[in-house]
Structure 1
Amino acid sequence: MSIIANTMLCNVNEQPDVVVNCAALSVPRACEVDPTAAMAINVPSVLVKWLSSFSNGGTLLIHLSTDQVYEGTKSFYKEDDETLPVNVYGRSKVAAEQFISANYSNFAILRSSIIYGPQTVSPVPKSLPVQWMDSVLAKGDAMEFFHDEFRCPIYIKDLVTIVWTLTNRWISGREQIQLLLNVGGPDRVSRVQMAEAVAHIRGYNLSLIKPVSSSTVNRGVKSPADISMDITRLIQTLNMSTTAFRDGVKLTLEAELASTS
């Protein structure tokens, strides 16, 4: 990956105004299997070195991190809370945050929760959470969902708005930006509650949703129990709110239906 990145960046001669770094090995189990690859891919050392080669520091680096930097032992983590990740994926993302903040002057690190929304124009090669739940419940078969893991899923269009707002702020002002933001929706939800939202909107029988503990399933990786996040800083810094989970699910399913009609 670093060789490819080096080659690609060497072919870019003009300094960009903004770089949004979404590149990651983001499957926690894959990170457990190959920690070396996780660190090499998730810590953007080549990118930061290239950006630093421009003497004026005129590029804003917007870096996508994760809520899995938190330990998961309480609700509504704040940005200043200690990062104590329980798996390799989380540790690699903490390492990335530390590397960026120590080696680059203008950055916005976004600790994102589960991202959900309509399928992209070029479909992503993995199942999307709302679409997967919809397809499972549509079959009419009972399905187990975790009741004891909590996140604050963020609607994709909110995330795009955040990136766009930061980009415009940087381009219009060029004042130093060093931001760390929790990026999530306003709702703390379990997988059960996520599935229930889908079922309510689509009219599925709620009895199909069977709550189980996450401890009953061996996923090959430890997962934090509660990494819900306080998004007060996001709201105050960017003067915006994020979409309630049920509203986002409704928008997602409406978009999916429109794309197939």
Structure 2
Amino acid sequence: MSNNKKLLIIGGTGYLGQHLLQSFSESQKSIDLSIAFTHQSSSPPNLLLQSLPHATPFQVDLQTGQGFDSISHTFGQPDVVVNCAAISIPRACETNPTLAMSVNIPSSLVKWLSSFTESNTLLIHLSTDQVYEGTKSFYKEDNETLPVNVYGKSKVEAEEYIIAKCSNFVILRSSIIFGPQTISPVSKSLPVQWMDSVLGKGQETDFFHDEFRCPVYVKDVVNIIQILTNKWISDGKKMGLLLNVGGPDRLSRVQMAETVAHVRGYNTSLIKHVSTSSIDRGVKSPSDISMDISKLIQTLDFRPMSFQDGVKLTIESMNP
């Protein structure tokens, strides 16, 4: 392996993708890293390009694989690929399952990686807690995957595809990712910022009391990916890992909102407790997909921060 290493982030203009680009760019000098990223639209946001001038953008269509040849010719074979690209809104997947499957199962990416003569690229793939059925607490990685919606099913098929086709991979089953806004603000609603907005306006708002997740701070996810990248670059031992990536707290939406209210000093009486059965969201959602993260802690010697600490950092980023 040469001294200069190459990192490619698939879906670099999304929420996690931008946080990864920012963090890896900051540590670029210490590990002599060339960075590239893919985007779907005709051009990535100017704000992102101006802020990260050394990250090379490539337009790629994940359904057809168009654009990967350009990466081969211009950037070359990456040492590490992080796949953040997905249709991750469950209702959108339910509405168009064919599109969800074609984007969320990274067949064009894996075929492109297999075109290189040496299979020495580490693929880090972002999966989801929604692969679990949601009928118990603290799922372990070896528990059966029985997703209740198309999004979860597409992610299970993606995992199976990668395990069957790749010899060097890490699959990260992520819970809800929260944290500061990105360099170029993403259009999707960010959970802590949204809760802060409605509660800060004094609006009574409904929150589910019977749906449980283990929300994880975005910079913890970034740190986990950096640990894995450094591990591969330093020792070159192929991996075949599947890890739950959640925060340490099992929380309902009510408890998340209460944490934001406590940090900000808002009135918790604004938080109205409702059941998931009272609202039709157009897609079935698992009730309790909290995850056991002991394997993550033991394997990487890394412990994600509490939801409260992550909320405090997120709020600080909103009021610099």
* Aligned with residue 195 of structure 1, among 257, 262, 273: 257
The corresponding residue for 1:244 is 306
Q: Distance in 1 between matches of 2:313 and 2:129?
A: 24
Q: CA-atom RMSD, angstroms?
A: 1.1
Q: Distance in 2 between matches of 1:12 and 1:31?
A: 28
* Aligned with residue 165 of structure 1, among 208, 227, 249: 227
The corresponding residue for 2:181 is 119
* Aligned with residue 234 of structure 1, among 281, 289, 296: 296
* Aligned with residue 67 of structure 2, among 2, 5, 8: 8
Residue identity over aligned pairs, in percent, reads 68
Q: Distance in 1 between matches of 2:116 and 2:175?
A: 32
Structure 2 residue matching 1:225: 3-state secondary structure: coil
* Structure 2 counterparts to residues 90-169 of structure 1, below 5 A: 90-169=152-231
The corresponding residue for 2:284 is 222
The corresponding residue for 2:274 is 212
Q: Distance in 2 between matches of 1:66 and 1:21?
A: 13
Q: Distance in 2 between matches of 1:30 and 1:216?
A: 21
Shift in Å, 1:141: 1.7
1:256 is aligned to 2:315 = no
Q: Distance in 2 between matches of 1:15 and 1:238?
A: 26
TM-score w.r.t. the length of structure 1 is 0.97
Shift in Å, 1:3: 7.7
Q: Distance in 2 between matches of 1:47 and 1:240?
A: 29
Q: Distance in 2 between matches of 1:135 and 1:190?
A: 19
Q: Distance in 2 between matches of 1:122 and 1:187?
A: 29
Shift in Å, 1:176: 1.2
Q: Distance in 2 between matches of 1:3 and 1:187?
A: 37
More divergent stretch after superposition (54-63 vs 67-76): 54-63
Q: Distance in 2 between matches of 1:95 and 1:257?
A: 41
Shift in Å, 1:55: 2.3
- Higher relative CO (CA 8 A, sep ≥ 6), structure 1 or 2? 1
TM-score w.r.t. the length of structure 2 is 0.79
Q: Distance in 1 between matches of 2:66 and 2:161?
A: 22
Unaligned runs of 5+ in 2: 1-39, 41-58
Shift in Å, 1:12: 1.6
Shift in Å, 1:133: 0.2
- How many residues align structurally? 258
Superposition misfits of 4+ residues, deviation over 6 angstroms: none
CA contact (8 A) 2:148 2:284 kept: yes
Q: Distance in 2 between matches of 1:176 and 1:65?
A: 20
Shift in Å, 1:4: 2.4
Q: Distance in 2 between matches of 1:23 and 1:140?
A: 36
CA contact (8 A) 2:124 2:170 kept: yes
Unaligned runs of 5+ in 1: none
User: Deviations for 1:153-184, whole angstroms, at most 9, x for unmatched residues?
Assistant: 00001000000000000011111100000000
The corresponding residue for 1:74 is 136
Shift in Å, 1:125: 1.4
CA contact (8 A) 2:60 2:68 kept: no
User: Deviations for 1:74-122, whole angstroms, at most 9, x for unmatched residues?
Assistant: 0000000000000000000000000000001100000000000000111
* Aligned with residue 21 of structure 1, among 69, 76, 83: 83
